[in-house]
Structure 1
Amino acid sequence: MKALLLLCSCLWAPLVVGKPDNDTVPTPYRLQTALLDTTWTNDFGIKPWPQHPRPLLRRESWKSLNGIWTYQPASGGDDLIDPPSTPLNQEVVIPSCIESALSGIMASNVTHMWFATSFTVPYDWAQNERVTLHFEAVDYEAVVLLNGVQVGFNRGGYFRFSIDVTEHLNADGSNDLLVFVFDPTDDPSHHIPLGKQTNDPSHIFYTPCSGIWQTVWLESAPATHITNMDIAAGMDGTVTGNIQSSVGSHYPVNFSILDESGTPLATYSALSDQPFKFTVPSPRLWSPDSPSLYDISVSMGPDTVTSYTGFRTISSEKVKGVQRPLLNGKFVFQFGTLDQGFWPDGIHLPPSLEAMTFDIKLLKSLGMNMMRKHIKIEPDLFYQACDQLGLMIIQDMPSMPANSLPDPASQTEFERQLELMINEHKSYPSIVTWVIYNEGWGQLTHPYHPEKHIAERIRKLDPTRLINAVTGWHDHGAGDFHDNHHYAEPQCGTPFYSLPGTPYDPDRIGFQGEFGGVGHVPELRNLWPVQEAMDTILQTYEINQDLSSYNYRSHQLLDHLREQVALFACSGAVWTQTTDVEGEVNGLVTYDRRVMRVNATQWKEDIQALYDAAEARN
């Protein structure tokens, strides 16, 4: 890659810079006028996302750094040699995408940028021994300087990273934090996992997200502390896990599953940094109909953290001669939407937790039991909400640019980041399937087919879930699914609907990875008001003149799917889509979440008919 990558590759003798004086008065933060707002836009405020960001590994000693920072664009990677004085030119609210109205910046096509803030650490943290600085996600690369010393570097726009900053802290006063960010988005000289982001939005490709777009926070812990936990709990009560520690050796760990009153239901003495297994008798099982969760308490020496888990088993077996996905030993038909996770005011980040859970609750209210999280990874609080509300998640890996062929270095980086996705999220009960490739985007299709060895690697990292190696086409037999996309009608689980790129395979699960997509043009006030986007509206698969015809056509398609469930080997389907996005107008609701297209009574009946048809096949 370009200058930043070359500079960062040789950096790990820390760069030390002085802090120059600066009399700059930054331009004050102002919420920009969104091209299209939501009912939550004005709730964003200057202290957004106050919730603890990692529900699976929580300590009480933490401090959010979200709020007003300063920002300015940079000219290129060489700016790292001479960092700017602070404060920077303009106030910005973190977390946010700089392209968004919520950020206060609303800038486009900025590839290099600086962010700065200052902070103090709580006085009582002196009782502990280590302080960690956490970034939940920065798109795409970040170089972190604290008090003039480079303390960390990260690559990957959807993944967390943490830096032990103890040795560089001023415990008795202010600390200056400076972050340099590089985001090439879809620059053709780069092949990076970016999903649907593009600097030239058109129809199914949207406004990008650059910068520090998830929570930044500090945490205090003893020198000997827990760094990560992998937990899986099965329908038979078996709990398997691995508690990673800062000491890197086998250290005694006390692990407790708690009942609703907080009383230990089961306890186990384990050792850190090695697998363990024990059994909880007769646990309540997690499912969309009954999303039972159990709190967890783990202590290791002076350190105590809390977490949670759900007991459920995901598997695949033949049921009456048909290969099926099973939840807790039973075939459960999976039905839900393609969920893009874009917002008109925040782009990748909704204004609040309430806004984020709106989409999940909408699907649940219609009787859906699944969502396909489409080539985007959400904040951890999203997956916690799905765990709590009971929604199965098919999780896509963010794709590399469509119609691109990665070079070996880009392919290696894609696979590294895919492993990050799995390792960071494999303890969330709601996630049931990992997706490697979407419609061949960034997929090598010559006789060496990387999805085969990637699928094998995923099974070693996480044997508790299914793998959809290729959703759409270019299926070479890897993974647990043969998955077909077809608009508008479904073509699911039958040989005579097999497409050339998705050959029917009775030994894998028949799945409709995308269908539907029927659209309706709302009033102008509910549209993304960008002419280039509006010009592509007619590219939507079908456009209905009014909501009556929209719901009639949707009923036809859902009934067609019901027939395929009843007659063939169709085990699940994904309707496009939850919400409109920019130039796409085929959501259950409009992009601003203000207009609901679906006739809820009709849709609930049609969805229940799918489950009834599947139940009759058990």
Structure 2
Amino acid sequence: MSPATPSATDVVAVPETTQPNPAAAPAGPSASTTPSASTAAPAGIVVPKPEYPRPDRDRSAAWLTLNGPWDFESEYGTTRITVPFAWETEASGVQRTWLERGTYRRSVTVPAEWDGSRVLLCFGAVHHWARVLVDDVEVGVHVGGYTSFELDVTTVAAPGASVMVTVEVEAPADKRSIPHGKQRSVPRDDYDGVSFTPTSGIWQSVWLEARGRSYVAELALRGDSLTGIDVVGTVLGDAPTAPVHVRVLDEAAGTAGSDGSSGADRSSGADRSSAAAVVLEPDATGRFTGRLELTDPHLWSPDDPHLYRVELTTGTGVAADRVAATTGLRRIAVEGDHLTLNGEHLYVRGVLDQGYWPRTGLTAPDDDALVRDLELARRYGYTLVRKHIKLEEPRWLHHADRLGMLVWSEPPAPSRYSLEAAGAFEAQLPDLVERDGSHPSIVVWGLYNEEWGLDWDIPGSPERAEAAAHAYDVMRLLDATRPIVENSGWSHVRTDLVDWHYYEVDHAAWAANVAALADGSREDFPVMLGPDFTVDKSLYGAPDHPRTGIPLLNSEYGAGFTNLERAWHLRWQTQELRRHDRYAGYVYTELTDVEHEAAGLVDADRREKDRGGLDPADVNATTVLVLDVVPAAAGADVPVPTHPWDLVVRVSHHGRAAARGRVRAAWVSAGAAFGAGPVAPTAESAPVDVEPFVLSGPTAIRVPAPGPVASARLHVWLVDDSGAVLARTFVDAGPVEPPNRRGARTTTTD
């Protein structure tokens, strides 16, 4: 080893800022929580993910990142591992799959400036069982691979002294009875075909931070009243009944930079609030509740993601503690068969995101990767991300808050039912709500997914149906401010949204079944669970479940084996969902490829795919065109017309106000994308008037034949009176070549 390279047991990170009293000044803005490599570690050591992990609960005035090299001991010997990457990943430097135990060690020097403060050791997530020691003294044990935890190490980690931090981890290969989401298990799960490389050990950031002698631990901020911020929390430490001073510190505008800071943060540290403040008195257990009334409330929405930073101060003088938490004023509600956001009709245009990266697994390689995925979803026209059976790190949620992206959040589940497994699933819910509940971006809580952990048998098992209903009840007690889905996709027994997952390669069958589910004439749909295993799954797992008066939406769909086929299905299947006003939205599968799963709009490295000229933003626009066409095949929706053709067009519009326009059409070269060159319309409809959230009536437009060509593309678009384009789509015309089956084996009988 080079003398210039420190050993893994040396301190390899220093806090960017430390203060003798971490609460002597307001928690610093997020822009100051990103140490540079030169200040975060000795020369030659680049600390991964150096940003302060909790910008939504900011104590970055005095903190120390412990990301970077640690010593790592396993059955294969001792090596070095890079935290916070799971030991299965390339980025960790270990890259061992099916390793079930490992021990992390590193020395840490607590800054001398923290004298008189409490010292907290914080973990973003460790899968699955973790025992933490400081200088061989056990300071805590945590179970649960996706939930955060923190340990008060004040008595064993004196400021100015070096201590050895040890983390012993167990990560069972047989994960069937523990919450593990998409991690592959041995023995294999029933859904192994859609499972991926496991994530074991420390896989989110680890850090130390200084707090006051008494400090706010649990905290919930809710802005559902739309007029103020409701505050609930708990004080721990020397004086748990000490008064808590709460005020609006500033207003963090939603146009924040990718570093997580707001324009207000960067421009000045001055308090620009309207002096909204209150003093709250905790009870004997340290619990406090109260409310901050706002004189000029500014609501949070995707179009205007306005955030409030709320400062909570506990104690006085050198023993005081301050934390700046972030939230927004917004209300998500179920009103009959649709959703509302801040009292306005909300139609969900969502995309599934599993949160995997090629070299780093479930851990984002850096903060920019989190932002890029959110911006990618926005660029494709999506307004919601369904983070699939994974509790994503708080920095991602903070970016969703400030960028205005709605989030459907759901925890991992086990894959086999037992009372123990159901208990382990529910045990993570309080931590989920406490950590993430203040984020205005989260508008749906999901629980189980497709009866995973319930043996795919809610209809045939009252016990499993009761487990799903009980999970709903537990979550409802924890948070009554958001819709809850107890079993996403199938067999609902107690839910605020009836969602369904349906994958279909036959477009005619898709269109017919989507229509039948919308009008209630059908309540089930085929689900292929294996090559020789297809079942009819029902929307409802109980005969008395309400059929009306509750939102109905698709939360997984998509089909096709090639990129062009997937783009074709995206275009036509989404338009069929928009055809039916009964639906409250959709969630497309999926944003990115993951390992062997190639269903993403982009590949696993976030590179664009060839979609044959389709822009997903057109598919997911506020206003879209719905064509009365049953497409034949990718690249050949219809035969090439030889005579004038009457194309029937409808308009689905989800804007706040009515719209008016004319449909235009023109033939272009096969495969030509919009904007590839000037196009003059060859056909135009009469004016079309469209009301919000009501599909327009049919409008026929006579399209001339394209001439003697083998194939062509018909661009179709809607323009308003000013000529602005409101919506656009296309129809491909060409021959469908029959499949070549020469040499196929045939069966003969005598």
Percentage of pairs with the same residue: 29
In 2: Cα distance, 1:418 partner to 1:91 partner: 34
Distance 1:394 1:119 in 2: 38
Secondary structure in 2 aligned to 1:422?
helix
- Report which of the two structures shows the higher radius of gyration computed on alpha carbons: 2
Equivalent in the alignment of 2:369:
355
Provide the TM-score with structure 1 as the length reference. 0.81
State yes or no: 1:474 paired with 2:491: yes
- Amino acid across the alignment from 1:65: L
Give the match's secondary structure for 1:289: coil
Using a 3 Å threshold, how does the CA distance of structure 1 residues 394 and 610 change in structure 2: closer, same or farther? Answer: farther
Call closer, same or farther: CA 1:353–1:600 in 2, change over 3 Å: farther
* TM-superposed deviation, 1:311: 0.7
SS in 1 for 2:595: coil
**Residue type of the alignment partner of 2:82:** V
> Equivalents in 2 of 1:423, 1:27: separation in Å?
33
Name 2:101's counterpart in structure 1. 112
Whole-angstrom CA distance in 2 between matches of 1:45 and 1:454: 45
Q: Which residue of 1 aligns with 2:66?
A: 65
For residues 426 and 65 of structure 1, what CA distance do their matches in structure 2 show?
A: 26
Distance 1:447 1:199 in 2: 27
- The Cα shift of 1:249 comes to 4.2
Give the drift of 1:512: 0.4
Moved more, 89-98 or 254-263: 254-263
- 1:557 aligned counterpart, secondary structure: helix
Say yes or no: does 1:271 pair with 2:281.
yes
- Match in the other structure for 2:218: 228
Instruction: Please tell me whether the aligned partners of residues 378 and 405 of structure 2 are also in contact (alpha carbons under 8 angstroms).
Output: yes
Match status 1:559 vs 2:575: yes
Matches of 2:610 and 2:370, distance apart in 1: 19
605, 615, 638: which one aligns with 1:602: 615
Amino acid in structure 2 at the alignment position of 1:270: L
Match of 2:21 in 1: none
CA contact (8 A) 1:185 1:197 kept: no
Describe the superposition over 1:81-138 as per-residue Cα deviations: whole angstroms up to 9, x where unpaired.
Answer: xxxxxxx721111111101010001111100111111110111111x23111111110
Q: Select which of 372, 378, 392 maps to 2:386.
A: 372
Q: Report the equivalent of 1:191.
A: 177
What displacement does 1:495 show?
Answer: 1.2
Higher RCO (C-alpha under 8 Å, 6+ residues apart): 1
1:429 to 2:447 alignment = no
1:439-472 superposed Cα distances (whole Å, 9 cap, x missing partner): 0000273213122232222222111111011111
653, 656, 668: which one pairs with 1:613?
A: 653
Q: Residue 171 of structure 1 aligns to a residue in which SS?
A: coil
TM-score, with structure 2 as normaliser: 0.67
Runs of at least 5 residues in structure 1 that lack an aligned partner in the other structure:
1-23, 29-43, 76-87, 519-541
Given residue 256 of structure 1, which amino acid in structure 2 is its aligned partner? Answer: R
**How far apart in 2 are the matches of 1:223 and 1:424?**
22
Name which of structure 1's ranges 252-261 and 58-67 shifts more when overlaid on structure 2: 252-261
- 1:309 and 2:327 equivalent? yes
Q: Aligned with 1:383: secondary structure?
A: helix
- Select between 424-433 and 450-459 the one with higher mean Cα deviation: 450-459
Q: Is the 8 A contact 1:467 1:480 kept in 2?
A: yes
Q: Is the 8 A contact 1:435 1:470 kept in 2?
A: yes
Q: CA deviation at 1:600?
A: 8.1
1:447 equivalent among 454, 462, 477: 462
Supply the AA of the counterpart residue of 1:269.
V
Contact residue 371 and residue 396 of structure 2 kept, 8 A:
yes
How many angstroms does 1:152 deviate by?
A: 0.9
Q: How many pairs align? A: 528
Query: Deviations along 1:466-506, whole A, 9 cap, x unmatched?
Result: 10111111222x02011111013473644134214213721
Question: In structure 2, do the counterparts of structure 1 residues 577 and 158 end up closer, same or farther at CA, with 3 Å as the change threshold?
Answer: same
Offset at residue 203 of structure 1 (A): 3.3
1:358-396 CA deviation, whole Å, 9 max, x = no partner? 111001112210011101111110100100111111111
| Cα deviation, residue 595, structure 1 | 2.7
Q: Give yes or no for the alignment of 1:141 onto 2:157.
A: no
3-state secondary structure, aligned to 1:89: strand
8 Å CA contact 1:513, 1:573 repeated in 2: yes
Q: 2:92 aligns with which of 94, 97, 103?
A: 103
Q: Deviation per CA, 1:161-218, whole angstroms, max 9, x where unpaired?
A: 111111112434321111110001434xx50000010146853110010011111111
Q: Is the 8 A contact 2:9 2:105 kept in 1?
A: no
Q: Distance in 2 between matches of 1:68 and 1:25?
A: 8
Matched, 1:514 2:562: no
For 2:8 and 2:490, how far apart are their aligned partners in 1? 50
C-alpha distance in structure 2 between counterparts of 1:303 and 1:149, whole Å: 27
Contact 2:111 2:160 in 1 (8 A): no
Q: CA deviation at 1:45?
A: 7.0
1:240 counterpart residue number? 230
Over aligned residue pairs, what C-alpha RMSD do you find? Answer: 2.4
Equivalent runs, 1:140-219 vs 2, <5 Å: 140-187=128-175, 191-199=177-185, 203-219=193-209
Select the residue among 249, 260, 271 that pairs with 1:262.
Answer: 271
Q: Distance in 2 between matches of 1:26 and 1:304?
A: 33
Q: Which of the pair is proportionally richer in helix? A: 1
Letter in 2 for 1:583: H
Q: Is the 8 A contact 1:433 1:467 kept in 2?
A: yes
Q: What is the Cα deviation at residue 262 of structure 1?
A: 3.1
- Give the CA deviation at 1:235: 5.3
Residue 590 of structure 2: which of 577, 602, 605 is its match?
A: 577
Q: 1:306 to 1:609 in 2, by over 3 A?
A: closer
Separation in 2 of the partners of 1:315 and 1:383?
20
CA distance in 1, matches of 2:82, 2:573: 44
One-letter code aligned to 1:141: W
Match of 1:324 in 2: 338
Contact 2:247 2:292 in 1 (8 A): no
- Structure 2: how far apart are the matches of 1:470 and 1:455? 9
Letter in 1 for 2:184: T
Q: Match for residue 668 of structure 2?
A: none
Structure 1 residue ranges (4+ consecutive) displaced by more than 4 angstroms after TM superposition:
24-28, 199-202, 597-601, 609-612
Between the aligned partners of 1:425 and 1:27, the Cα distance in structure 2 is 33
Deviation, 1:250, is 3.6
Residues 226 and 299 in structure 2, CA contact (< 8 A), matched pair in contact too: no
Would you say 1:252 and 2:243 are equivalent positions?
yes
Q: 1:48 to 1:480 in 2, by over 3 A?
A: same
Q: Which moved more, 1:592-601 or 1:297-306?
A: 592-601
**SS of residue in 2 equivalent to 1:274:** strand
- In 1, the alpha carbon distance for the partners of 2:297 and 2:310 equals 14
- Cα pair distance change 1:599/1:246, threshold 3 Å: farther
Cα gap change, 1:617/1:171 in structure 2, threshold over 3 Å: closer, same or farther?
closer
Q: Aligned letter for 2:693?
A: R
Quote the residue 1:485 is aligned against: 501
Letter in 2 for 1:429: P
Give the Å deviation of 1:67. Answer: 0.9
